[in-house]
Amino acid sequence: MPRLTILVQGKPHVLSFRPGASLREILDRSDYRVRSACLGHGACGLCQVRLLSGEGGPHQPAEQFQLNASDLTEGKRLACQMRPTTDLTVEILNPPPPSGWRTPPEGLTYAPAGFAADRPPPPGVSHPVGAAVDLGTTHLCVAVHSLASGRRLAERWGKNPQGRFGSDVVTRLMAAQRPEVAEALAFAARHAIGEAIADVARREGLDCRAFSRVTVVGNTAMLALLADRNHHLLLQPAYWMAPLECTTIDGAAWAQAWGIARQAQIELVPPLGGFVGSDLIAGLVACRLTEGSAPALFIDFGTNSEIALWTGSDLWVTATAGGPAFESGAGSCGTPAEAGAVFRVAETADGGLAFRVLDDDCAHGLCGSGLVDLVACLRRRQRLDAKGRFAEGAKNFAFAVGEREFSLGLRDIDALQRAKAAVGAGIAALSAVAGLPLAALQRVVVAGLFGRYLDIANAQAIGLLPSVPVSRIELVGNTAAAGATALLLSTQAQAMVNRLRQQAQLINLAHRPEFEDAFLEHLYLRPTEAS
């Protein structure tokens, strides 16, 4: 891919990009954004850069209007009007203040088809817009749409600030037993949503007061902690699969805090049960699981992994603890799937390893998909056995990516094994209760940030995915965000959710006698029999 060198206050930064997007869009996925306030139409003139080398394409009418002849001679351009196709170097002339909010990685958000934007907006708001929020355990994604046309205006992606209270839902739930911590957790999530909305409004030239609907999906713990309601019940086994009330009590106060329309509709989409959230429902809506080929399996890999099995007549769902290995990698070399993450590892002809890094030449660590690749490579080379132990009693595997050195240890592999075993045992439990052999699966939908970058062959080699033909497996990215968007805009999506709620049969894995044995079996790093 072409490489973009960016000068910010004299310091160079290098990242790769796919041709087709504007320079503004490329930069918005990185740490080096330009100023903007016009949805990238060239109307504000704020996103000025200086082209130092490379081909930026012909000057566009908006540039000729915003920049004078001297500016153009000096190489000044508008980032929103440039669509680079080859290597180039630019200087950001007036960089904005640092922000934790970015445009999501390319291809992360799944695009649902066939949902008309027919939900009427609340009255009394000119040019109403809405925000669809996927409140994940690790990341938060906000998509902003026109409520009149359904047109996507912007999307933002950042870390869930609740992470400082614990990387997994159980740790946060335990911390929330103290009322002051519960309040802090709720404030952190609400503040992050408000920040993302404000970032969109500021950079895209929107009025915050035009936001008149906010639809939020998430796993049950995230929704309960956001609303600061009933989260203590999730630590009691009796409520692990029971419906849980976690809607907001005072939506008007939230709207006021966010600076949006006072009559805005604040919708926290109810979960199915204790650990089966509305992010699963949204995902099933987005990929239309119950309307396609059957039998079909849906897996949303994450810190809290949710699984659904559609037989053609019955919908079985469950959730299991994936832990941080999927979303943040594992151990000292683990990192989320963002710029600088090693997301792909492959063997070379000379017996070495080749590493691919997301959007950056400088590797920061190994994300979940890269971890799967590396473990699969080590298994094929017999450097790692099926039990997750290194050959000849080694304690780690050292590797270098560019100038950075990393070490994969036994604890890192163990974290992946446990996450993989939990999901595998969950799939086995649904298969058993449905009386359906995995070999019969016609469709396997793999969702989540982790799934977006997954190498299917490597995932099957270590038993992470069922051993069905690769043609039946779909890597669809963030279906929760896509489903949230559909629910924000569409009455059809709303009706589909109601049907799914009636169809879904929740399975509590703690009550399945075969779960423990299946968990132990899936700890092994070997293909799973699709029988």
pLDDT one-digit tens code per residue, 237-263: 888 778 889 988 889 999 999 999 999
Give the confidence band of 328 by pLDDT, cuts at 50, 70, 90: low
Give the confidence band of 527 by pLDDT, cuts at 50, 70, 90: very high
pLDDT one-digit tens code per residue, 136-171: 988 899 999 999 999 999 999 999 999 999 988 889
Predicted structure pTM score: 0.89
pLDDT for the residue numbered 104: 85
Structural domains in the chain, CATH included, are 3-92 (3.10.20.30), 129-276 (3.30.420.480), 279-324+415-522 (3.30.420), 328-409 (no CATH)
What mean pLDDT comes out for the span 487-499? 96
Give the confidence band of 467 by pLDDT, cuts at 50, 70, 90: very high
Whether 510 has a pLDDT exceeding 90, the answer reads: no
Phi, psi of 320 (to 5 degrees): -145, 160
One-letter amino acid at 7 equals L
The DSSP result for 295-317, as a single string, is SEEEEE-SSEEEEEEE-SS-EEE
The DSSP result for 435-484, as a single string, is T--GGG-SEEEEESHHHHT--HHHHHHTTSS-SS-GGGEEEEEBHHHHHH
What mean pLDDT comes out for the span 502-517? 88
Whether 428 has a pLDDT exceeding 80, the answer reads: yes
pLDDT for the residue numbered 442: 97
pLDDT one-digit tens code per residue, 299-319: 999 888 999 999 999 999 999
Cα–Cα distance measured from residue 354 to residue 347, given in angstroms and rounded to the nearest whole number:
6
pLDDT for the residue numbered 498: 95
Query: Picking from 38-52, 105-119, 343-357, 480-494, which range would have the lowest pLDDT averaged per residue?
Result: 105-119
pLDDT one-digit tens code per residue, 182-192: 999 999 999 99
What mean pLDDT comes out for the span 327-352? 82
- Find out whether 4 and 88 touch, Cβ atoms under 8 Å: yes
pLDDT one-digit tens code per residue, 18-74: 898 999 999 998 888 999 999 999 999 999 999 999 998 999 999 999 999 999 999
Q: Which of 185, 198, 203 is nearest to 33 (CA)?
A: 203
pLDDT for the residue numbered 477: 85
Cα–Cα distance measured from residue 259 to residue 242, given in angstroms and rounded to the nearest whole number:
35
Phi, psi of 319 (to 5 degrees): -145, 150
pLDDT for the residue numbered 460: 96
Whether 531 has a pLDDT exceeding 60, the answer reads: no
pLDDT for the residue numbered 530: 59
Percent of the chain exceeding pLDDT 70 equals 98
Cα–Cα distance measured from residue 159 to residue 102, given in angstroms and rounded to the nearest whole number:
10
What mean pLDDT comes out for the span 201-206? 92
Give the confidence band of 103 by pLDDT, cuts at 50, 70, 90: confident
pLDDT one-digit tens code per residue, 272-288: 988 899 999 999 999 99
State whether residue 144 is helix, strand or coil.
Answer: strand
Give the confidence band of 107 by pLDDT, cuts at 50, 70, 90: low
What mean pLDDT comes out for the span 396-420? 91
Mean pLDDT of all residues in the chain? Answer: 91
